Structure 1
Amino acid sequence: MAAVTNADIPVSPTEVRVINRLSESNGTIKIQPAAPADQVSLVQYDASFRDIVGASPTHSLLLSTAGNSNNPFFHEACVFIPEHDELYITSNLLQAVSTANFPTILISRVKLLRTDRLSGDNSVHTVQWAKLRPPPGIDMPNGGVNYKDGILFCAQGSPRSGTGGIYYMPRRTPPVPMVTNFHGRDFNSVNDVVVAKDGSIWFTDPCYGNEQDFRQKPKLPNLVYRFNPENGDLRVVADGFGRPNGICFSPDEDVVYITDTDAFHGDGNKDSTRSATIYAYDVITRGSAPFLANRRVFAYAAVGFPDGIKCDIFGNVYSGCGDGVEVWNPSGTLIGRILVPGGVANFCFGRDGEMFLCAEQSLWRLQLAQSTKGALLGI
């Protein structure tokens, strides 16, 4: 597929609205204004959010298909490869051109060309966007994470049995299957993945593939797993979810955060009485192995449901929601919101305080304080 170049990308100052959550008249919580339709903006509820934002936040629209295509190319994964200054992003379902074929998912590779990092200007002035068909084995890719010299992709699988799982995609070599079944039973449709410091791979497995008509009937509950690639040990670490989705560790890996998007079903139906919750677990050791204990509600999304989730190096928790990205401190207090038109499914941190925000038909870059770094890469 032909690559697309977008050059001379403008950078705009980002509005920060400081909001007192309580009405001065009667002490009730105020209804918050909606995000502008054509730009990113920030809402600050707590003074600590100013440290994240910095003195002069900016944003830029790197790519957009609005007006040209309805295809949601910028949906999930959002993996930043610092060695090559590239982003890898998976699309949402793209409709097949023939009724004889199933919908498909493509991977976008976005090359970032910057102004002058040595001068302190980290802005992206040009992007080169290539749409890639997933390599064999990575059927219907969704979430992803940095791994060795490449990426771990979540393959949701196809209608055929024996497909789906976690695949390692090294740079310029064929993908390697890491784990593709639970003791002979196919996974439902693996959604998101994170790698611990000990090298173990943790991932979620909801039933969205079956609900979206490209995956067989589930053979397992909606579970969260831990896989040890050193000895092949695979075990369930958490259950009791409607639809487990995003997963991340706190910077010290003492806590695991998992989002439950049970309020949104794969067939498009929504039920606002179901879970749109971030759960926190303590990571404890029993018999020399990690376990998840003390499940508790960490936060409930203010708008929509929490999808992709990540921490910064200070322990603040970020999750893509219906309004953009909502940000909580480690105590579960909502300290600010990054308002993005149409909301955000997933995102990632880049270099020196930048974030990349996937909004289905749009890919945004947000520049925050240079001290704001993601816990995953710490850059």
Structure 2
Amino acid sequence: MSLSPWQQHDDAFQAVIGPGPELRALLEVSEYPFAHEAGVFIAETDELFITSNQLIDSSGTRKVQINKCQLNRQTGCLSREEIPNEMIHMGNGGVNYEDGILFCAQGSMTEPSGLFKMERKAPYTTTPVVTSFLGRPFNSVNDVVVHSDGSIWFTDPIYGFEQGYRPRPSLPNQLYRYDPATRGIRAMADGFSRPNGLCFSPDEKTLYVTDTDRVHGDGSFDSHRVSSIYAMDVVFYHGQPSLVNRRLFAMADAGIPDGIKCDMEGNVYSGCGDGVNVWSPGGVLLGKVLVKGGCANFCFGRGGELFILNEKRLWHAQLAPTVKSALLRI
């Protein structure tokens, strides 16, 4: 007898999953872990852009593969296209940006880490957005979110150096804000061990950041280290944003909290070692969508859809149709 994938910890979880939640595998690829990070849903075309976990290509080079998946609403099936890209080295997180997608490139020994905008259609023209902190190279930019004022916020841990494909770090593990209008960049928060996923609350008054120190890029795993989500208030001094009142929001009991998103009710979702965990805005664990092997990241579709990236599998979870993403608001 199989266990239910819907693990309730609080009565309020029923409002999240609705009366008839469903979970099914959309696509499986045996050749390599194609479904690892990013998860960028394009509502107009029902397309999903994702990045793979690390793999070795036919030439023996370590790389990350960008994939575009097309959802057929009539059949419920998903087709996949591999997108070659010579500018986005070791791609990771991503987010909808203007008429394209903003990808995090972790970089290589010779190519920079930073943020790159890629067009959604072939030939997938790609342009760099920011590739250094005032001339100092980033470590390995991990995840990114865009504020309604147009500013871009992103995390930069040292995973690339630990995994052997980036030079020795020249910056701390920090969180940054880049303003495309002025090309100004600021370090917004430090004190993290391994800053990873990030997202804003629906009203953008709170920023959530995951710290995945429990797992280091060298393969070491220590349960004494942090695997938590922190919340910070976004306030303004002299007309500029600052982050204050940093506090522990939640700790993931299984694995690490990696990718993170909010719904329009302010509930906080994170990809963890056992699937997608869901907390209330006050930090109460409401429940989990259990997926064997867990997930690093996920994204919302429309009307309560979740696309869960599970390495060699991509899952579709249907929550309550009233659930809407705080990012896309659909």
Cα RMSD (Å) of the superposition?
Answer: 1.4
Paired position in structure 2 for 1:75: 36
Deviation by residue 1:271-324 (Cα, 9 ceiling, x = unmatched): 111110100000000010000001100000021110000000000000000010
Counterpart Cα distance in 2 of 1:266 and 1:202: 22
Paired position in structure 2 for 1:148: 98
Paired position in structure 1 for 2:115: 166
Deviation by residue 1:17-69 (Cα, 9 ceiling, x = unmatched): xxxxxxxxxxxxxxxxxx85xxx71111212110110111112211113xx43
Gaps of 5+ in 2: none
Paired position in structure 1 for 2:257: 306
Deviation by residue 1:150-173 (Cα, 9 ceiling, x = unmatched): 10000111111x512011112335
Deviation by residue 1:48-99 (Cα, 9 ceiling, x = unmatched): 110110111112211113xx43x2110000110011100001001002444x
Give 1:311's aligned amino acid.
Answer: C
TM-score when normalising by structure 2: 0.97
Paired position in structure 1 for 2:62: 103
**Matching residue within 169, 173, 197 for 1:222:** 173
**Matching residue within 32, 38, 45 for 1:84:** 45
Paired position in structure 1 for 2:6: 42
Identical columns (%): 53
Q: Kindly report structure 1 stretches of 4+ aligned residues shifted beyond 3 Å.
A: none
Gaps of 5+ in 1: 1-14, 16-34, 116-123
1:329-348 to structure 2, matched below 5 A, reads 329-348=280-299
Paired position in structure 2 for 1:357: 308
TM-score when normalising by structure 1: 0.84
Specify the structure having the higher radius of gyration (Cα): 1
Give 1:168's aligned amino acid.
Answer: K
Length, aligned pairs only: 328
1:91-240 to structure 2, matched below 5 A, reads 91-98=52-59, 101-115=60-74, 125-133=76-84, 135-160=85-110, 163-172=112-121, 173-240=124-191
Paired position in structure 1 for 2:239: 288
Asked if the contact 1:137–1:164 (Cα under 8 Å) also holds between the matched residues in 2, the reply is no
- SS of 1:341's partner is coil
Aligned-residue offset at 1:267: 1.9
**Matching residue within 210, 225, 241 for 1:259:** 210
Asked if the contact 1:323–1:342 (Cα under 8 Å) also holds between the matched residues in 2, the reply is yes
